[in-house]
């Protein structure tokens, strides 16, 4: 190209802004929401006091905390971090799934991880005491999350094997098998809620609506190694998913290692969502809504969409959790009720408002 | 001219059906070959095998003497581009972003700016630069096809930083284009052939195929009928045998089609063949 043509193009390229401000704006939103989440609650604390407590704890982590500091450091901070992790995991997993399935309505449930986790959790809740306890003694404290995580992962693996023939995974087969498994697990769940006693039924419904109320430092530390790799791997998948939007054959023509992108995406999503569900139950709608909102705002390029989804998902889940634990204090709403009750109408409004819809 | 692409006895079986049945082909570097044949003759399947997308169930393919199977996907993406028949997008990519998909990860030593410039150049070549900021989903079928033409042009251009000898596959590239853009797409392809590109296309319009191609490849029911210069390959008898249509006797030639074609292609096409007035009864 001649330099004249180049400079003419340079001027024209200014027409295609990359919107770097969006990620900065979303990161600020996450910080703002986090400060609010730490300050709001039965004991209200101003942001300055919150910051002071957190920085003090960072400077001298071994110092004994008391009073307000105890509330912040032992109750609200782990809950905040767990909310950030899970929100980021669910939203970016949603974006990854939609890219993989080339469908804006896809979500992690299509690869069976949520259904498998739910089934395993229900089994643990309803049959755990009756069947497992006599064999191995009283169920350990982490039995439910470990069961759910394992169940989700095993299910996804099974669907992956079903859908893979001679080294190629058929996304359509995986989707159909996922739907079939979802129906099956729904039936078993129905059977379990029919069989369960009152306490088990409450546990079941609480779990299937999701909640961050059980957040502890242990859960944060346990979930981190499963969720963070997904977040870190996203930039490497972005180009492949962009090309995959054109079709699998087209992605291959563009030199994308299609099968590797598929397998890696499925694995990362299963691990991240499995860990999220294990830690906080089923929280719906974040995975569909967040990427969709961002596509309307910033376009479909996964290089922007994936990190933006993680940030907005984190902010949204923490905000929803803050509302869930303050609006009916001292009681708590399951967070899944809130994300769906507020998310669905907002989503509809967005769809209707869209020009040309 | 040396052969850039050679297929030896390739077959493709799907279930019990032979979609491609022991086909031998050779493509000279810098030539324009057009595959014709009735529906279901295996034209698209042949293209998908030659570009490495489908593994033939029999036979072998060599690119510059190198077995196709041994060339990794990323390297193939530098050597050839494939323009698909139709491509839906379920996400709101802009036209500019679609063109950029052609250059992402292709080529060596190109900055982000360079790649974007290649994409813009290609959009201009395909006459869709004015649509650059439009949502791809809002385009008509013909406009979409031109955007994909731009995308593959950008891919080849970026790939040139690594591979000099390249092949462009076009699967019914002009199916939904208006007349003007049909001609300009084919002219652009011919210009690239003169610069050394090898083009292999599937076309349905026999008149355009005959006036554009250096070589015709005629397929029928998965078998190769013949490969050769248009005049030699597409005789009236073959037309009747393969397509089941008969020629209108020469002399009644003047369809408006023919006139427009010759006006536009005279600069690049091979010497005009006299009295080849092909028309359908």
Please list every residue in chain A whose beta carbon sits closer than 8 Å to the beta carbon of residue B98: 246
Residues of A in contact with B116 (CB under 8 A): 9, 13, 16
What integer pLDDT is reported at residue A16 of this predicted model?
A: 57
Is A60 within a domain? Answer: no
Q: Is residue A153, in this structure, part of any structural domain at all? A: yes
Q: Does A93 touch chain B (CB under 8 A)?
A: no
Mean per-residue pLDDT over chain A, rounded:
84
Separation of alpha carbons B9 and A353, rounded Å: 58
pLDDT higher than 50, residue A152:
yes
ipTM of the complex: 0.84
Question: Considering just the CA atoms, what is the radius of gyration of chain B in Å?
Answer: 19
Domain for residue B72, yes or no? no
Residues of chain B falling short of pLDDT 70? 1, 247-281
- Which B residues 19-58 touch A at CB under 8 Å? 48, 51-53
Distance CA B216, CA A126 (A): 70
Q: Residue A344: which CATH number?
A: 1.10.3470.10
Is residue B113 included in any domain, yes or no? yes
Q: Test A253 with B77 for CB contact under 8 angstroms.
A: yes
User: Would the CB atoms of B106 and A13 count as touching at under 8 Å?
Assistant: no
Per-residue pLDDT, A80: 94
Higher pLDDT, A19 or A85: A85
Domain count, chain B: 1
Residue B125 placed within a domain: yes
Q: A313 lies in a domain?
A: yes
Which contacts of A124-132 are long-range, i.e. CB under 8 A and separated by 24 or more positions? A124/A148, A125/A192, A125/A196, A125/A200, A125/A203, A125/A204, A125/A207, A126/A192, A126/A195, A126/A196, A126/A200, A126/A204, A127/A192
The more confidently predicted of residues A91 and A44 is A91
Tell me the residue length of chain B: 281
In chain A, what residues touch B121 (CB-CB under 8 Å)?
1, 5, 9
**Chains A & B: contacts with CB separation below 8 Å:** 98
Q: What residues make up the domain containing A286?
A: 46-54+67-353
In this structure, of A17-26, A84-93, B27-36, B149-158, the range with the lowest mean pLDDT score is A17-26
Min Cα–Cα distance to chain B from A251, Å: 9
Instruction: Determine the average pLDDT of the residues in A330-340.
Output: 84
Query: Is B122 contained in some domain?
Result: yes
Quote the percentage of chain A above a pLDDT of 90. Answer: 25
Query: Count of alpha carbons within 13 Å of B52, Cβ hemisphere only?
Result: 28
> Considering its fold, how many domains does chain A have in total?
1
The pLDDT of residue B253: 52
Q: Which token pair is B129? A: 């630069």
In a domain, B108, yes or no: yes
Give residue B133's domain range.
86-163
- State the nearest Cα–Cα gap between A28 and chain B, in angstroms: 26
Domain contains B44: no
3-state secondary structure of A30: helix
Q: What was the pLDDT predicted at A31?
A: 93
A234 and chain B: CB distance < 8 Å anywhere?
Answer: no
Average pLDDT for residues A253-260, to the nearest whole number?
A: 92
pLDDT at residue B46 in the model = 94
Which residues in chain A touch residue B131, judged by CB atoms under 8 angstroms apart? none
Partner A contacted by B132 (CB < 8 A): yes
User: What single string gives the DSSP state of each residue in A226-284?
Assistant: HHHHHHHHHHHHHHHHHHHTT-HHHHHHTT--HHHHHHHHHHHHHHHHHHHHHHH----
**What pLDDT shows up at residue A222?**
86
Query: Residues A95-113: pLDDT tens digits?
Result: 999 999 888 888 887 888 8
pLDDT of residue B280: 37
Is the CB of B84 less than 8 angstroms away from the CB of A12? no
Beta bridge partners of B61: B7
End-to-end CA distance of chain A: 41
User: Cβ contacts of residue B84 below 8 Å, gap of 6+?
Assistant: A246, A247, A249, A250, B148, B171
Domain presence at residue A40: no
Asked if A247 lies within 8 A of B132 by C-beta distance, the reply is no
| Residue that wins the pLDDT comparison between A141 and B200 | B200
> Distance between CA A116 and CA B207 in Å, rounded?
59
Of A13, A242, A299, the CB nearest to B94: A299
Residue A286 lies in a domain: yes
- Tell me if chain B has a CB within 8 Å of the CB of A250: yes
Radius of gyration of chain A measured on its C-alpha atoms: 22
What is the reported pLDDT for B175? 86
Interchain contact, B90 vs A10, CB within 8 Å: no
| Residue from the list A15, A104, A255 with its beta carbon closest to the beta carbon of B91 | A104
Facing residue for A257 by CB, picked from B73, B121, B138: B73
The H or E element that residue A339 is part of is: helix A335-353
Residue-wise pLDDT tens digits, B72-131: 999 999 999 999 887 788 888 999 999 999 998 888 888 888 888 899 999 999 999 999
Say if A89 falls within a structural domain: yes
* pLDDT at residue A329, rounded to an integer: 74
Which region among A62-76, A125-139, A312-326, A327-341 has the lowest average model confidence (pLDDT)?
A125-139
pLDDT, residue A105, reads: 81
Tens digit of pLDDT for each residue in A153-172? 899 999 989 988 877 888 88
Q: Which residues of A229-259 are buried (b: 16+ CB within 10 A; e: fewer)?
A: ebbebbeebbbbbbbbbbbbbbbbbbbbebe
Residues of B in contact with A356 (CB under 8 A): 138
Is position A215 within any domain?
Answer: yes
Chain B hits for A242, Cβ within 8 Å: 97, 101, 104
| Within-domain flag for B11 | no
Q: Has residue B187 been placed in a domain?
A: no
Give the start-end residues of each E strand in A141-219: 164-165, 168-169
Its pTM surpasses 0.80: yes
- Shortest alpha-carbon distance between residue B263 and chain A (Å): 30
């Amino acid at each position: 190209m001649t330099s004249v043509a180049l400079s003419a193009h340079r001027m024209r390229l200014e027409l295609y802004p990359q919107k770097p401000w969006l990620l900065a704006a979303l990161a600020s939103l996450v910080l703002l929401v986090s400060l609010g989440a730490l300050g709001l609650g039965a004991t209200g604390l101003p942001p300055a006091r919150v910051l002071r407590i957190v920085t003090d704890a960072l400077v001298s982590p071994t110092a004994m905390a008391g009073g307000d500091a105890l509330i912040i450091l032992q109750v609200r901070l782990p809950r905040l971090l767990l909310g950030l992790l899970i929100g980021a995991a669910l939203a970016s997993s949603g974006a990854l799934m939609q890219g993989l399935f080339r469908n804006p309505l896809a979500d992690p449930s299509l690869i069976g991880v949520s259904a498998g986790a739910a089934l395993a959790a229900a089994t643990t809740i309803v049959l755990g005491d009756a069947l497992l306890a006599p064999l191995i003694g009283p169920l350990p404290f982490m039995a439910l999350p470990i069961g759910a995580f394992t169940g989700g992962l095993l299910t996804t693996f099974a669907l992956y094997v079903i859908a893979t023939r001679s080294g190629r995974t058929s996304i359509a087969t995986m989707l159909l098998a996922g739907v079939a498994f979802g129906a099956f697990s729904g039936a078993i769940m129905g059977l379990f809620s029919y069989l369960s006693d009152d306490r088990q039924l409450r546990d079941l419904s609480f779990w299937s609506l999701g909640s961050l109320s059980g957040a502890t430092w242990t859960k944060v530390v346990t979930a981190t190694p499963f969720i963070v790799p997904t977040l870190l791997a996203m930039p490497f998948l972005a180009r492949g998913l962009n090309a995959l939007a054109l079709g699998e054959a087209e992605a291959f023509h563009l030199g994308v290692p299609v099968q590797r992108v598929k397998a890696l995406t499925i694995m990362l999503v299963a691990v991240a969502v499995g860990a999220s569900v294990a830690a906080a139950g089923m929280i719906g709608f974040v995975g569909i809504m967040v990427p969709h909102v961002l596509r309307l705002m910033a376009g479909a390029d996964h290089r922007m969409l994936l990190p933006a989804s993680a940030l907005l998902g984190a902010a949204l889940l923490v905000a929803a959790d803050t509302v869930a634990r303050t609006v009916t204090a001292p009681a708590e709403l399951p967070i899944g009720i809130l994300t769906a009750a507020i998310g669905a109408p907002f989503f509809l409004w967005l769809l209707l408002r869209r020009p040309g819809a | 001219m040396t052969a850039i692409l050679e297929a030896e006895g390739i077959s493709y079986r799907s279930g019990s059906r032979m979609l491609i049945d022991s086909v031998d082909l050779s493509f000279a570097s810098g030539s324009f070959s057009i595959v014709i044949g009735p529906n279901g003759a295996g034209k698209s399947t042949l293209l998908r095998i030659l570009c490495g997308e489908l593994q033939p169930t029999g036979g072998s393919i060599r690119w510059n003497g190198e077995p196709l199977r041994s060339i990794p996907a990323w390297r193939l993406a530098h050597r050839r581009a494939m323009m698909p028949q139709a491509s839906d997008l379920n996400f709101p990519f802009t036209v500019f972003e679609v063109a950029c998909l052609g250059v992402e990860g292709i080529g060596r030593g190109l900055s982000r700016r360079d790649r974007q410039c290649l994409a813009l150049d290609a959009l201009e070549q395909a006459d869709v630069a004015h649509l650059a900021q439009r949502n791809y989903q809002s385009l008509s079928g013909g406009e979409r096809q031109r955007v994909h033409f731009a995308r593959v042009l950008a891919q080849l251009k970026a790939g040139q930083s690594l591979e000099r000898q390249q092949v462009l596959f076009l699967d019914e590239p002009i199916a939904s284009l208006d007349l003007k853009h049909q001609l300009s797409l084919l002219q652009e392809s011919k210009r690239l052939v003169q610069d050394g590109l090898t083009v292999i296309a599937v076309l349905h319009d026999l008149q355009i195929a005959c006036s554009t191609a250096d070589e015709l490849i005629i397929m029928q029911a998965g078998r190769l009928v013949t490969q050769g210069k248009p005049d030699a390959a597409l005789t009236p008898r073959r037309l009747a045998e393969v397509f089941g249509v008969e020629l209108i006797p020469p002399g009644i030639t003047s369809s408006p089609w023919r006139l427009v074609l010759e006006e536009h292609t005279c600069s690049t096409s091979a010497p005009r063949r006299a009295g080849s007035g092909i028309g359908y009864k």
